[in-house]
Structure 1
Amino acid sequence: MRRGFEFLKKLKKNNNREWFHEHKSEYDLIKEENKQFFNQIYSELQKHDRLTKVHISRINRDIRFSKDKTPYKSNFGAGYARLKPMLRGGYYIQLGPDTSFVGGGFWAPNKEDLLRIRQEFEMDSSGITSITSDKTFLNYFGELQGEEGVKNAPKGFDKDHPAIDLIKKKQFVVKRKFTDVEVFSDDFQKEVIRTFLAMRPFFDYMSEVLTTDTNGESLFQ
């Protein structure tokens, strides 16, 4: 992991195709090490959950719609999706100098799922608040994060609803940051798994919401 971080530091200072191609052999070795690391996490996590295959992010940036035209990322990342339709939520890990974190949740729910989540919070927010106020959740993540979709209230919802802060969200994610020292520790991979498993009550609750209608009846018979 240290070698990978040193490579990323140099890449950040020399973020151009010429430099990258000159150091491609070094990157290929690091890429293979990362693949093994991310696949080991997948294998371990699969013992506790049902996942689709791991998606390891490419080092190349998508610069088509970005003002930043630097071609390469300054981090490594991988995502692990749960097996739909009954299991919802996705795990994610990012590794990079001073930018490492483990996260998960619902980054971009489609409009139907977003509406269903908001309806659940409108009817009864005690389920989600009991999870986000739990000691384990607080120790690992602190709070439920995610961008708000509207300033006041989504259409059809009361801006004075007690759970309006939850209802306004368009993303529902959790995140735990790691220092470089923590990433380099022998226990890091196990700590990643423990962090992912701490998301399960949140994932399981949201999965139940998204696989039932507002009467609590299953959408999948």
Structure 2
Amino acid sequence: MSEYFTEDTFVFLRSLGENNNRDWFNEHKAEYEQYVREPALAFIRAMRPELARFAPHFVAADKKVGGSLMRVYRDVRFGKNKQPYKTNIGMQFRHEIGKDVHAPGFYLHIEAGEVFVGAGIWHPDSDTLKKIRSYIDAHPTRWLDAMNNTAFKKAFQMGGDSLKRAPKGYPMDHPMIEALKRKDFIAIGPLMPELILEDDLVGFIASYFETAQPLMQQLCRALGCKF
């Protein structure tokens, strides 16, 4: 069994999904701390030396607020979904420059019935998007080599949104048009939920992150940040 998450973690997340209101959450806050937040912070701490080994410029911050563990509270101001709490655990390991600019990162998503790892950059701003597209246009072979890396292709699939038409400044018959149309440059690696309960969870997730190096290296080069 994992020293981080247990079946009780999934039980809590399912129960939160069925009782997504402030009264229930406040009554079960101790369970959130025991089965979600504290195990997540311990996992983040354990990931720090792993990231230092192959991606030293990415941060594993085990702060309760403002670190790698994403908030359980949803921002309900603009979306149709007004439920106050997220029913998943989200952990992001951002590039060290990520507080000031859009930069790539690693991600782990744990939800009852859905677990996946992610790597890349999600919803970059227009300037960041232009830099990535310019890099792909200038270095198509490097980009294709990364996308076609055998281990990367086996573990990940590219996700996110794409334009229906060519972005401004690029013809529709551009040889890299499918990559250039992307609005997100994120790789998703779906996992079986029970893997979260395994003994060597840290090593397992670290190996997935390490497999995403081809994409992450290209994104860092495109944005002029260290990998």
Aligned residue for 2:138? 123
User: Separation in 2 of the partners of 1:52 and 1:191?
Assistant: 18
Match of 2:221 in 1: 208
Question: Which residue of structure 2 lines up, in the alignment, with residue 80 of structure 1?
Answer: 93
How many angstroms does 1:76 deviate by? Answer: 0.7
Alpha-carbon spacing, 1:11–1:147, altered in 2? closer, same or farther (3 Å) = same
For 1:165, give the aligned amino acid.
Answer: E
Q: Which runs of 4+ in 1 moved over 3 A?
A: none
Number of aligned residue pairs = 210
Q: For structure 1, which segment, 120-129 or 75-84, has the greater mean C-alpha deviation from structure 2 after superposition? A: 120-129
Bigger-Rg structure (1/2):
1
Match of 2:78 in 1: 65
- Displacement of 1:146 after TM fit? 2.6
Q: Distance in 1 between matches of 2:138 and 2:42?
A: 45
Helix, strand or coil at the partner of 1:118: helix
The equivalences for 1:30-179 within 5 A come to 30=35, 31-48=37-54, 49-54=56-61, 55-84=68-97, 88-141=103-156, 143-148=157-162, 150-179=163-192
Question: What amino acid does structure 1 have at the position aligned with 2:58?
Answer: L
State how far apart, in whole Å, the 2-side matches of 1:42 and 1:2 are.
25
TM-score between both structures, scaled by the size of structure 2: 0.85
**Other structure's SS at 2:59 match:** strand
1:118-143 Cα shifts (integer Å, max 9, x gaps): 122223411111111111111111x3
Gap regions ≥5 residues in structure 1: 213-219
Code of the aligned partner of 1:147? D
Q: Distance in 2 between matches of 1:76 and 1:163?
A: 35
**Alpha-carbon distance in 1 for matches of 2:30, 2:138:** 56
Aligned sequence identity (%): 30
- Counterpart residue number, 1:194: 207
Please state how far the C-alpha of 1:104 moved relative to its aligned partner.
Answer: 1.3
- The structure-2 alpha-carbon separation of the partners of 1:134 and 1:84, relative to structure 1 and needing over 3 Å to count, comes to same
Q: Which amino acid aligns with 2:154?
A: N
Shift of 1:53: 4.6
The farther-off stretch of 129-138 and 38-47 is 38-47
Paired residue type of 1:37: F
**Which runs of 5 or more residues in structure 2 are unaligned?**
1-5, 62-67
* 1:3 and 2:12 correspond: no
Aligned-residue offset at 1:195: 0.5
Name the CA distance, whole Å, in 2 between partners of 1:210 and 1:57: 24
SS of the equivalent of 2:189 reads: strand
> CA-to-partner distance for each residue in 1:141-170, whole Å, 9 max, x for gaps?
1x333311x311111110111111111111
Residue 26, structure 1, aligned to residue 26, structure 2:
no
Distance in 1, matches of 2:57 and 2:212, equals: 14
Tell me the amino acid that sits aligned with residue 134 of structure 2: Q
Aligned partner (choices 194, 211, 215) of residue 181 of structure 1: 194
The answer to whether the aligner puts 1:15 opposite 2:20 as a matched pair is: yes
> 1:216 aligns to what?
none
In 2, Cα distance between the equivalents of 1:137 and 1:171? Answer: 17
**Cα pair 1:5 1:96 within 8 Å, conserved:** yes
Question: Residue type of the partner of 1:130?
Answer: D
